Amino acid sequence: MSNYPPEIPSQLESAFFEHLKDGHAIQEHALLKNLTEQGFQGFKPSLEPLELFQAHFLCFHLLYRLQTKWFSEGLGWLEIYTLNIQLHPMQTADSNALTQNDELRAYYLNYQHFLDTQAVDVQNLMDNFWSQFDLQSLPYETLKADLNLLEIDPETPLEDLSLTQINQQYRKLCAQHHPDKGGKTADFQALSLAANRLRKCI
């Protein structure tokens, strides 16, 4: 299997450029939503870990490729962060503009990562992240707040909780608070954090 990515369709490059050419910063979630609304379904936000990862990776893979292309064409230099994607004028670029975040840049430019990643890989990434914390030692008030957030009785003993209950509440509330449904990104992220903490504690 080749790790050489396909060419970027001109209409897709144009869509990216339209959202960035004015020089205003845009967050990744907003960019994904805008691209989806234009018919590019590969960027559709999802609650499923694999689909969420694939949309994110594809977006950043294309952004880093366009960063090089647009810089060489004199269109500007593209700053790429999850919460700040912004096309800057060429005159503000320095000689190191394309070497910032070298390791991240190399990771996202390797299309093989997109091709090889399976659902289990994404779940392992999430599990490894949460395993950095000793969640059993979290303050009682934190766990109580998480239960409240998921609309579960905060006095419920952890041993009486089930993954099914947590996941049902999480999906129900995500459907209400997802940014695509008019919810706030901060509320949506808080739900995800709370659900993950509780899953690790039972």
Residue 192's closest CA among 161, 162, 149, 152? 149
Residue 132: per-residue pLDDT: 45
Enumerate the domain spans of the chain.
10-122, 134-201
- DSSP states of 54-71 as a string? HHHHHHHHHHHHHHHHHH
The CATH fold of domain 134-201: Helix Hairpins (1.10.287)
Categorize the per-residue pLDDT at 176 as very low, low, confident or very high, splitting at 50, 70 and 90.
Answer: confident
Residue 26: per-residue pLDDT: 94
Is the pLDDT confidence value at 98 over 70? no
Q: In this predicted model, which residue has the larger pLDDT, 13 or 99?
A: 13
Residue 46: per-residue pLDDT: 73
Q: What is the 3-state secondary structure (H, E, C) of 159-175?
A: HHCCHHHHHHHHHHHHH
Residue 31: per-residue pLDDT: 94
Element (H, E) at 85: strand 84-88
To which residue do tokens 């694999």 refer?
Answer: 50
Give the total residue count for the chain: 202
Is the pLDDT confidence value at 118 over 90? no
Structure confidence by residue, pLDDT tens digits, 14-28:
999 999 999 999 999
